[in-house]
Amino acid sequence: MSVSLTSPLVPASDPRATDGLTVWPRSTRPDRDGDVSVGGVSLAETAARFGTPVYVLDEDEVRERCRTYRTAFPEADVVYAAKAFLCRAMAHWVQEEGLGLDVCSAGELTLAVTTGFPPEKIILHGNAKSPEDLDTAVRLGVGRIVVDSTSEIARLAAIVPHDSRQQVMLRVVPGIAAGGHAKVRTGTEDQKFGLSITDGSAQHAVARVLGQPRLELVGLHCHIGSQITSVKPYIAAVRRMIGLMTRIREQHGVELPQLNIGGGHGIAYRPGEESLDVQALAGRVLTELHDGCAKVKLAVPRLTIEPGRAVVGPAGVCVYRVLSVKRTGSHTFVAVDGGMSDNPRPALYGVRYAPRLIGRHSTAEPRLVTVVGRHCEAGDVLADEVPLPEDVHPGDLLAVPVAGAYHLSMASGYNLVGRPPVVAVKDGAARTLVRRESLDDMSRRDIGL
From the list 90-98, 148-156, 263-271, 412-420, the region that binds ligand LLP by CB under 6 A is 263-271
Q: Which of 179/271 has CB closer to ligand LLP?
A: 179
Residue 84, class by beta-carbon neighbours within 10 Å (0-12 exposed, 13-18 middle, 19+ buried)? buried
Distance CA 196, CA 32 (A): 57
Rule CB under 6 A: is residue 262 a binding residue for ligand LLP?
Answer: yes
Among 143, 263, 301, 418, binds ligand LLP (CB under 6 A): 263
Single out the residue of 174, 264, 338, 339 in contact with ligand LLP (rule: CB under 6 A): 264
Sites for ligand LLP among residues 407-436 (CB under 6 A): 410
Total residues at interface with ligand LLP (CB under 6 A): 22
Q: For residues 312 and 90, is the Cβ–Cβ distance under 8 A?
A: yes
Q: How far is the CB of 80 from ligand LLP (least distance, A)?
A: 9
Is there binding between residue 102 and ligand LLP (CB under 6 A)? yes
Q: How many other β-carbons are positioned within 10 Å of the β-carbon of residue 136?
A: 20
| DSSP state at residue 182 | G
Active-site option among 222, 293, 318, 376:
376
Close Cβ partners of 151 (under 8 Å, ≥ 6 residues apart): none
357 and 419 Cβ atoms separated by less than 8 Å: no
Binding mask 213-252 for ligand LLP (x = CB under 6 A): ----------x--xx-------------------------
Identify which of residues 263 and 338 has a Cβ nearer to ligand LLP in the complex: 263
Cβ 195 to ligand LLP, closest distance in Å? Answer: 14
The amino acid at residue 250 is: E
Determine which helix (DSSP H) or strand (DSSP E) holds 320, and give its type and residue range. strand 316-328
Edge-to-edge strands, sheet with 29-30:
29-30, 36-38, 41-42
CB 146 → ligand LLP: shortest distance, Å? 7
Catalytic annotation present for 66: no
Q: Which of 121, 144, 345, 419 binds ligand LLP (CB under 6 A)?
A: 345
Contact set for ligand LLP, span 20-79 (CB under 6 A): none
Rounded to a whole number of angstroms, the minimum distance from the CB of residue 18 to ligand LLP is: 30
Distance of closest approach, residue 223 Cβ to ligand LLP, in angstroms: 4
Residue 83 DSSP one-character state: G
Cβ-proximal residues to 417 (8 Å cutoff; 6+ apart), any chain: 338, 339, 341, 374, 375
Closer by beta carbon to ligand LLP, 31 or else 273 = 273
Q: Residue 184 Cβ, how far from ligand LLP at the closest point, in Å? A: 5
Pairing outcome for strands 100-103 and 77-81:
parallel
Min separation Cβ 100 and ligand LLP, Å: 12
For 192, counting Cβ atoms within 10 Å of its Cβ (0-12 exposed, 13-18 middle, 19+ buried), the class is: exposed
Spell out a b/e string for 361-381, using b for 16 or more CB atoms within 10 Å of the CB, else e: eeeeeeeebbbbbbbeeeebb
Pick out residues in 288-327 that bind ligand LLP (CB under 6 A): 306-310
Which secondary-structure segment (H or E) carries 145? strand 144-147
Query: Stretches 242-250, 261-269, 317-325, 428-436: which one binds ligand LLP (CB under 6 A)?
Result: 261-269
Check: CB of residue 256 under 8 Å from CB of residue 245. yes
Cα 408 to Cα 54: distance, rounded to the nearest angstrom: 11
Is 406 one of the binding residues for ligand LLP (CB under 6 A)?
Answer: yes
- Quick one: how far is CA 386 from the chain centroid? 25
The catalytic residue positions are 376
- Interface residues with ligand LLP (CB under 6 A) are 81, 83-84, 102, 125, 184, 223, 226-227, 262-265, 306-310, 345, 349, 406, 410
